[in-house]
Chain A
Amino acid sequence: DAGVIQSPRHEVTEMGQEVTLRCKPISGHDYLFWYRQTMMRGLELLIYFNNNVPIDDSGMPEDRFSAKMPNASFSTLKIQPSEPRDSAVYFCASSPSNRWETQYFGPGTRLLVL
């Protein structure tokens, strides 16, 4: 069975541009999480979904960030406009409802905003 799939794996963009990160969770998993990892702030939970519904987005840094989950097999994290301080590795993770604590992480998207 395929793991969590994220695309792109690397993204370099210029300040002010829109960035869209994509995630395909493991089939059958009801929870989906978006994390950000930076040297300065470490790992942070940005938002998570349960059955495609955003449960809590209090970790989203500001209005420039938005996340959607239009169906059970796809989620996006969008940054518009992007800024250099958004440079980080963004992880998507999913977990099944009967073992929600067991999160399976994707390989991450390394974002660099110039």
Chain B
Amino acid sequence: AQKITQTQPGMFVQEKEAVTLDCTYDTSDQSYGLFWYKQPSSGEMIFLIYQGSYDEQNATEGRYSLNFQKARKSANLVISASQLGDSAMYFCAMREGNNFNKFYFGSGTKLNVKP
């Protein structure tokens, strides 16, 4: 089974609107961490946000928030007030356990922000 599933290969959003990128995960570990990364067309990878499995509150970093629904095993990324510069690939990832020897990435979602 896939550890990380991103079901939206591509998405469009109008500038200034909010957008949700879906991510579901599969693990039987009690301790795990969830990550989101952004990869613009220039190729670099940018860490956006992290959520630990024991964190009760949803993580937020500026315009990014992680909608963590543990029972549903989902970790959706919400981008508020989309900007043209948000157009990029977005990857969801999971670390099982307390170190990085089990670290899995999703296949990514390509987000296009329209002016």
- A positions within 8 Å CB-CB of B: 33, 35, 42-45, 48, 55-56, 58-59, 89, 91, 93, 101-108, 110
Contact = CB atoms under 8 A, between A and B. Distances in A.
21 contacts: A33-B100, A42-B91, A42-B105, A42-B106, A42-B107, A42-B108, A43-B105, A44-B105, A45-B100, A55-B100, A91-B45, A93-B45, A102-B47, A102-B50, A103-B47, A104-B47, A105-B44, A107-B43, A108-B44, A108-B45, A110-B43
Which range holds the interface residue count of chain B? 10 to 19
B108 to A, nearest CB: 7
Contacts of A89: 43
B99 interface: yes
A31 B89 CA distance: 25
